[in-house]
Structure 1
């Protein structure tokens, strides 16, 4: 992987991690186009995933610090309830990530056929959430947090957007657009870090040195910076998009991208 490929894939990861178009799906498509596979792809994926976590921390630092300041008071308050909801939302994806991630990858892999199919599913989810007009709840309940967490767990399938699934599910449940956007991006921090940790463990079980050596240090640095900067832009932009309810454009994009991917795969 040269630095130009790292730059492009880093930009793809940063933008698509927050936009409801599936970062895993687009990374798989980009890697296939560039002919990047196996160890090289795994090492790079870990780096860019960590970069997007830093993007979230930067853009949503005010909200994250609000949570921890409330927790420091050691009493049941709005911040503590918010934190509990985050923890509840992590339960489904935690179970899937720890016990079934390898099984899911073995069955579905990251082939273009499954990526294209899941992009079409993402398009349907976003379309349903756009046309559904449920009531706007004041706060995200524990029940809704768990259901949104289930949506995130299902989104381990390559091509099924994590942010698209959680935001669409939350909107269909009738939650406030503004609160839902922030909740969706904060709740994703632990799973992304957990996924990166599992990949690091996989690297250590193999040959970590060979995996890291398969990608030049310059490519890793360029990929990290590209994912971080584009992630900051995409995170801020996506929160604004959700507030304005403009998800239908991403539904159209996912439908076109999914169809194009399936056609490309079967040609």
Structure 2
């Protein structure tokens, strides 16, 4: 890939992984509108590593606290606030993991089209608006229970449909359950860690199986830029979420979906 392609695609991945606007919808645009070549599996692995490193680094204190509490409390047969949240993350990851294993071939065969991405970008954008409009936004993260994690985890499984947005659909579910915007976003980000880890591991295994040579400069630059853009994205999103709400992202999704429909129809 050209240097310009690496820079743009890395930043797109870093931003759209965590904003509720769908990374798949954005990654289809350069190839459809500009004729850019496919970035390749090695580059996909690199940007996944970059975004994973970003969310782990940003929430490093939470990750260490939750992991430590889970290990200690589980060994003692008890559940406290932090270990309960860790269990919620584990439970919330299971539906998407199972759906990915069972439905990946079906999705790959029937749901990867540009029109599906456009429709889901618009449709789930409207659902995001609805959840933000009717959600009571009173519950904080310590109030999250396993049944909430199951519901949010089932919603996360819908993100296998291209154009849905993993962060968007998990925040949507949390808002419907009455959580505050920031609480919904924080749980969504924490919930992304095991899923991005699994996705990156699967892509790495696939890459090793291909036995192709690697362009380490492109891989390193892609990982670095996706890391930087993802950290900035998480920080600014959480900082301004309560101030600006989710309507700007809803409007953006509607416009993006409309552009995709015009280009791909």
Inter-partner Cα distance in structure 2 for 1:79 and 1:193: 21
Counterpart selection for 2:179 from 175, 178, 184 = 175
Structure 1 unmatched ranges of 5 or more:
none
Measured after TM superposition, the shift of residue 163 of structure 1 is 0.5
Partner in structure 2 of residue 209 of structure 1: 212
Partner in structure 2 of residue 48 of structure 1: 47
Measured after TM superposition, the shift of residue 100 of structure 1 is 1.5
Partner in structure 2 of residue 35 of structure 1: 36
Inter-partner Cα distance in structure 2 for 1:141 and 1:242: 23
1:108 aligns with 2:107: no
Q: Write out aligned runs for 1:1-267 (5 A).
A: 1-32=1-32, 33-37=34-38, 40-74=39-73, 75-109=78-112, 111-134=113-136, 136-138=138-140, 139-205=143-209, 207-209=210-212, 212=214, 216-244=215-243, 246-266=245-265
Q: Are residues 252 and 17 of structure 1, via their aligned partners in 2, closer, same or farther at CA, if it must alter by over 3 Å?
A: same
Inter-partner Cα distance in structure 1 for 2:166 and 2:121: 11
Measured after TM superposition, the shift of residue 244 of structure 1 is 3.6
Aligned length: 258
Q: Are residues 53 and 231 of structure 1, via their aligned partners in 2, closer, same or farther at CA, if it must alter by over 3 Å?
A: same
SS at match of 2:164: coil
TM-score by length of 2: 0.91
Measured after TM superposition, the shift of residue 187 of structure 1 is 0.6
Inter-partner Cα distance in structure 2 for 1:230 and 1:35: 21
Asked if the contact 2:70–2:87 (Cα under 8 Å) also holds between the matched residues in 1, the reply is no
